[in-house]
């Protein structure tokens, strides 16, 4: 079974059991240092392991990242809009140039 | 919190990453895994009698370039003692929300301590002494044909009953 926060990727791939927590990527088994929440998520995983009866079972835990809404962290993540389109295109060019330079020095990807 | 929305609430990483890398001038979108048939086995014994094995996408090696493209390193799957992970693992080269959160607490992405507590309470039979690491590779073939069978082999060696995969 999978514990994770990238719901679309996991469900598209198709897994027997999935415990989904609607968090930014990085802490699929609970907020850092929140022992109670981590215990709850891990316990949900074990219950799902025991009780699921068919594949593609998804259980969503009740936790939210922010107290009053669970949206603030989503908006900025991998944002693409008119405010940064130019900067993104430039970043892509810079990266390709850096990779080309690294390859020329023999340090590129295989 | 709004109770009506024009879009789904949870983030579609498939959509977002395609648009994000497209805007950076990468014309070819990543081909995500899609399977019609999904394997499934009903639990045959209670969790209190099961040995649990943990699988992570984090690694020990801190020499990986944090700016590297995911899947571009030559990582190999590994099995290691849970005790050796208690100081934390390395995952800065992986794709996660680095501006919003952090991975300084191991149990937020590899719940070894939480599972040991559940073991001491008798909720699970045991946590396997070893946990297992798998590279996030661009090659589906490598993940399916090489890495997954290797992890399964280690789990069988360790008499693991159920696998908990925790990708970052």
Comparing CB atoms, the residue among A3, A56, A95 nearest residue B166 is A3
Q: Element (H or E) spanning B21, and its range?
A: helix B13-23
> A102 CB near a chain B CB, below 8 Å?
no
Please report residues of B whose CB lies closer than 8 A to that of A24: 96-97, 100-101
Is A14 in Cβ contact with B25 (below 8 Å)?
A: no
Model confidence pLDDT, tens digit, residues B138-157:
788 999 999 999 999 999 99
Residue A38's pLDDT is: 98
> A58 CB near a chain B CB, below 8 Å?
no
Residue B63's pLDDT is: 54
| A·B CB contacts under 8 A | 181
Kindly report the pTM of this predicted structure: 0.90
Model confidence pLDDT, tens digit, residues B68-120:
544 455 788 999 999 999 999 988 888 898 889 999 999 999 999 999 999 99
Report ipTM (2 d.p.). 0.91
Residue A77 pLDDT class (50, 70, 90 cuts): confident
**Cβ contact B107:B89 at 8 Å:** no
> A32 CB near a chain B CB, below 8 Å?
yes
How far is B23 from B44, CA to CA, in rounded Å? 49
- Two structure tokens written together for A12: 């598209």
Residue B44 CB contacts under 8 Å (≥ 6 apart), including other chains: none
Model confidence pLDDT, tens digit, residues B30-68:
999 999 999 999 999 999 999 999 999 999 875 545 455
């Amino acid at each position: 079974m999978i514990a994770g926060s990238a719901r679309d990727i996991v469900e598209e791939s198709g897994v027997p059991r999935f415990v989904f927590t609607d968090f930014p990527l990085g802490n699929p088994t609970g907020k850092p240092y929140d022992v109670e929440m981590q215990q709850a998520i891990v316990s949900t995983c074990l219950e799902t392991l025991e009780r699921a009866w068919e594949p593609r079972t998804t259980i969503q835990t009740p936790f939210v990242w922010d107290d009053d809404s669970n949206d603030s962290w989503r908006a900025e993540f991998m944002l693409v809009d008119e405010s940064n389109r130019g900067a993104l295109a430039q970043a892509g060019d810079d990266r390709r140039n850096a990779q080309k330079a690294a390859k020329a020095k023999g340090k590129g990807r295989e | 919190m709004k109770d009506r929305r024009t879009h789904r609430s949870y983030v579609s990483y498939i959509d977002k990453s395609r648009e994000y890398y497209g805007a950076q001038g990468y014309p070819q979108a990543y081909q995500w895994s899609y399977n019609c048939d999904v394997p499934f086995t009903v639990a045959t014994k209670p969790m209190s009698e099961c040995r649990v094995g943990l699988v992570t996408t984090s690694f020990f090696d801190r020499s990986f370039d944090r700016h590297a493209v995911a899947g571009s390193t030559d990582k190999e799957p590994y099995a290691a003692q849970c005790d050796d992970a208690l100081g934390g693992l390395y995952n800065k080269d992986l794709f996660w929300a680095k501006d919003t959160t952090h991975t300084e607490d191991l149990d937020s992405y590899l719940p070894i301590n939480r599972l040991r507590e559940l073991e001491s309470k008798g909720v699970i039979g045991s946590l396997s002494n070893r946990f297992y690491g798998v590279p996030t590779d661009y090659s589906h073939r490598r993940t399916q044909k090489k890495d997954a069978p290797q992890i399964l082999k280690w789990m069988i060696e360790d008499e693991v009953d159920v696998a908990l995969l925790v990708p970052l």
